[in-house]
Amino acid sequence: MLKSITTLLVSLLIATPLMAQEVNIYSSRQPQLINPTLAAFTKQTGIKTNVVFLKSGMLERLKAEGRRSPADLVLTTDIANLTAVADAGLTQSVASNVLNANVPAIYREADGNWFGLTMRARIAYTSKDRVAKGELTSFEDLADPKWAGRICIRSGLHNYNIALLSAMIAHHGETDAEAWLSGVKANLARKPQGNDRAQIKAVWAGECDVAIGNTYYMGKMLADPEQVAWAESVNLIFPTIGNNGAHINVSGMAMTASAPNKVEALMLMEFLTSTKAQEIYAELNYEYPLLADVPVSELVKSWGEFTADDTPLTDIAQFRGDALKMVNTVNFDE
């Protein structure tokens, strides 16, 4: 009798379809940037991905939902956003030999609370007509009085610039970093305003000679007929910082503390660092893959080679609070 019951149960288990596997994602990245990669994951594994796109407010939403949050993963940009979610206790440590092998240590949190996915450099876009090649080689150069009235930049309080200033503090200490920030402010052509592309447009319009922006904006401008002229008016320069390479930031991911689908979430995390996914990122996002040996797109390759700052991003992120205070201390945006 017992044997027949066991046989019946096994038969039922085999005949009964497994519950649908899925991963729930909160993403601040634009749908067109991640949907192709997620589609490739579903095609390979059969696991469904459900994405809530949040242009802002991700941290607040996760805090409000707490342990009831349905989110398994967060996908976002900038070390500031990744560390903010982790520091709030909203992530969990992930142990994965695959992730540790695919993501360089300087681009992930030591305990596995977040991992980088793609890399971008913060660079200088310089006028082809008014800035000679070799005239600007480091971020430190931007405080030189020769650039007075020639620099455009977005708000100093934006995450991209806070990360840059945090890197300056990491390399030079607070006193020298503040002196540098004051020097850059003195050289601004106008009050900080707009986004990164607006700074490059200002160079094209002759309002300034140097714009600070992320690398991928060149790709975005070349894809927009209205903005092609802006892109073609500038050279891309990869300034060093602290004589230690170009300043780097990342897009990244983290598993939430509440993740109800941990197994599937880990499978997606590992897939996103695989050769297949990194190749998709490289072609569509104008970014640099973190997985070694995955080539950049031909367009990104045309921007030239550079050496990246090898300072761990966690060592830079620890100065975020100091950087925010510093921007206000020197009234950078005023």
pTM exceeds 0.75 for this model: yes
Q: How confident is the model at residue 2 (pLDDT cuts 50, 70, 90)?
A: very low
- Dihedral pair phi/psi, residue 130, rounded to 5°: -115, -5
8 A C-beta contact, residue 166 and residue 317: yes
DSSP per-residue letters across 99-119: HHHHS-GGGB-TTSS-EEEEE
At 116, list the tokens: 């980088």
Please say if the pLDDT value at position 44 is more than 70. yes
| CA–CA separation, 68 and 257 (whole Å) | 10
For the chain, give every domain's residue range: 18-119+248-294, 120-246+308-329
Higher pLDDT: 11 or 39? It is: 39
Q: Is the pLDDT of residue 18 over 80?
A: no
Number of CB atoms found within 10 A of residue 229's CB: 11
Closest CA to 84 of 159, 181, 8: 159
Helix (H, G, I), strand (E, B) or coil at 135: coil
Mean pLDDT of the chain: 92
196, 221 in Cβ contact below 8 A? no
Cβ-contact 222, 142 below 8 angstroms: no
Count other C-beta atoms under 10 Å from residue 262's C-beta: 14
The fold of 18-119+248-294 is D-Maltodextrin-Binding Protein; domain 2 (3.40.190)
Averaged pLDDT for residues 112-130: 97
Predicted confidence at residue 243, as pLDDT, reads 83
Tokens read off for 175: 């006193």
Grade residue 29 by pLDDT with cuts at 50, 70 and 90: confident
pLDDT tens digit sequence for 136-167 = 999 999 999 999 999 999 999 999 999 999 99
Q: What is the largest CA-CA distance in the chain?
A: 93
- The second-level CATH assignment, the architecture, of 120-246+308-329 is 3-Layer(aba) Sandwich (3.40)
